[in-house]
Structure 1
């Protein structure tokens, strides 16, 4: 079972509009609402592929109740921490040509008691988890050191931690040795403090994160594949993608595949690549089912193309 932690989850509401006009009345031609947040997406991906998962998250107001119902309807065990505030709602406007305009709410401010209850819920539910995936930004009320405290406390309970966050929250947590960290190319560059121009430079940045405390680094490089740097070696993987429909949640799907496959070695990297490649071929934030995966199309190798220029963020046909 994979347990996910999402400190700042959301309801993601999408409206399809014929044209975005500032100051005008927009009549939506379609709308949908989905569970949101990086840890929530990991749980959705695990469940979509047939795995067992528990989602720990703060829930508040009618929005939180709806989020819990949506997750339950997807076969996800919900371990909610009740908030005085309301779960945030993010809004996306989609135009006919696919252009997105997004408005992300800041989310509620958690009190010290609510922050402590969230950590204790994770610790209490960790006994049955093979992995705990802690993902996403921190809401108001949680200091950057909150993930560090969570990693330290849950490690004492014997659980393995995968951490997908950035900035000060990532830096603070490294000292407590998360078992896996999962940056994308931009987050890896931010953590290294310099631009990354090649896969080889990404390898060096990942090594630096390991020297600072990360057990392993799984880096999503967008069109340039995925990189795994761990005790057992350095591996690179990629798969062709016929058409990119949406990259929303693709990194979260990759992390779900990696952890579900054991979270170690080239076979887990191959699963991460397969899940990421399938996710970008699906609309919106849809998560791949087992039928969507094409593991035979994945290539993984220890012969890492160190001189390959990084094109992440500029599109491409592989993941």
Structure 2
């Protein structure tokens, strides 16, 4: 079972629009309302693949009720921690060329009691999980060391941890030794304090995070592919996506593919690539099913091209 933790979940409203022009009235050609948040999307992708998954979520107000209902309809078990605030709603605008513009609400503030209850709930639920995916931004009221506490508690329950945490929460959690860090060049650059213009630079940064406590680093490089740096080796892969429709949730689908395939080694990286490539060809933050995957198009190498210039290099 894959357990996911999303401290700041959302309802995501996605619209397909003509080219965005400020100050104009735009008419959407398509609309979706999906449960949102990085961990939520990992659970949705796992459920779409037929894998048992539970999402631990702080939920409040009518949006929280709707989010839980939508997840249940998609086959995701929900363990809710009731909060006084109202679950946030986000908006995503996708243009015909695949350009994604997101408007994210800050979300509710959690009280110290709600934060502690969320940690206790994760530890209780983690006892049945093969993997715990801790994902996304922290809500107001929670300090950056919260993820470190969560990793420690999940380890105490016997679970393996993958952490996808932006900002200061990432370096703060490394000492708790999560098995996998999922990141991108910008987040890695912020963690090591320097730009990462090439694939070789990303590999060096990933090795530094491993020295600081991460067991392995799974780096999402957007259209340039995916990278896995671990004790078993360093692997780089690509997968074509000829018709990019929306990038919303694609990185989370990729992480789900990685965990579904065991969370280690080139086979897991190949699964991550197949899931990510399938997701960007779907509307909004729709998650791919096995029928959408093209694993035959994935290419993996144990000899990464170190001088590859990244399309979106990380800057600290």
Q: TM-score, normalised by structure 2?
A: 0.94
Could you tell me how far apart the structure 2 residues matched to 1:241 and 1:98 are?
12
Q: 1:204 to 1:46 in 2, by over 3 A?
A: same
The offset of 1:51, in angstroms, is: 0.9
* Pairwise CA RMSD: 1.9
Q: Deviations over 1:265-293 (max 9, x none)?
A: 11111111111111112121111100011
Residue aligning to 1:80:
80
Comparing 162-171 with 92-101, greater Cα deviation is found at 92-101
Task: Report the Cα distance in structure 2 between the residues aligned to 1:307 and 1:27, rounded to whole angstroms.
Answer: 44
1:268 is aligned to 2:249: no
Distance 2:276 2:101 in 1: 23
Partners in 2 of 1:297 and 1:224 — Cα distance? 15
Contact (CA 8 Å) 1:166, 1:191: kept in 2 or not? no
**Pair 238,82 (structure 1): closer, same or farther in 2 beyond 3 Å:** same
Counterpart of 2:146 in structure 1 is: 146
- Residues of 2 paired with 1:220 and 1:26: CA distance? 32
Instruction: Please state whether the residue corresponding to 2:203 is helix, strand or coil.
Output: helix
Equivalent-residue separation in structure 1 for 2:43 and 2:312 (angstroms): 25
SS of structure 1 residue aligned to 2:168: helix
Which consecutive residues of structure 1, in runs of 5 or more, have no partner in the other structure?
A: 315-319
Evaluate the alpha carbon distance shift between residue 98 and residue 184 of structure 1 in structure 2; reply closer, same or farther with a 3 A threshold.
Answer: closer
1:274–1:15 distance in 2 versus 1, CA, 3 Å: closer
Instruction: Give the number of aligned pairs.
Output: 313
Q: Distance in 2 between matches of 1:99 and 1:168?
A: 27
SS of the residue 1:92 aligns to: strand
Task: Give 2:297's aligned residue.
Answer: 297
Cα distance in 2, alignment partners of residues 253 and 264 from structure 1: 16
Moved more, 34-43 or 277-286: 277-286
Counterparts of 1:30 and 1:244, CA distance in 2? 15
2: CA distance, partners of 1:164 / 1:20 = 33
Are 1:208 and 2:230 an aligned pair? Answer: no
Within a 5 Å distance, the mapping from 1:89-104 to structure 2 comes to 89-93=89-93, 100-104=100-104
CA contact (8 A) 1:181 1:217 kept: yes
1:229-248 matches, cutoff 5 A: 229-248=229-248
Q: 1:204 to 1:27 in 2, by over 3 A?
A: closer
Match of 1:240, SS state, is coil
Distance 1:187 1:149 in 2: 21
Written as runs of structure 1 = structure 2, the 5 A alignment for 1:1-319 is 1-15=1-15, 22=23, 31-93=31-93, 100-312=100-312
Q: Which moved more, 1:63-72 or 1:227-236?
A: 227-236
Q: Tell me the SS of whatever aligns to 1:234.
A: strand
SS at match of 2:81: strand
| 1:102 Cα offset (Å) | 3.1
Counterpart secondary structure, 1:72: helix
Structure 2: where are the runs of 5+ without partners? none
Distance in 1 between residues matched to 2:203 and 2:253, nearest whole Å: 22
Query: 1:271 and 1:29, CA in 2 relative to 1: closer, same or farther beyond 3 A?
Result: closer
Offset, 1:37: 0.4
Per the TM alignment, residue 104 of structure 1 is displaced from its structure 2 partner at its CA by 1.1
- For the Cα contact (< 8 Å) 1:239–1:273, is it kept in 2? yes
Structure richer in strand, relative to its length:
2
CA shift, 1:31, in A, is 3.5
Given that 1:179 and 1:216 are in contact with CA atoms closer than 8 Å, whether structure 2 keeps it comes out as yes
Query: Cα offset for 1:32?
Result: 2.9
2:311 alignment partner, SS class: coil
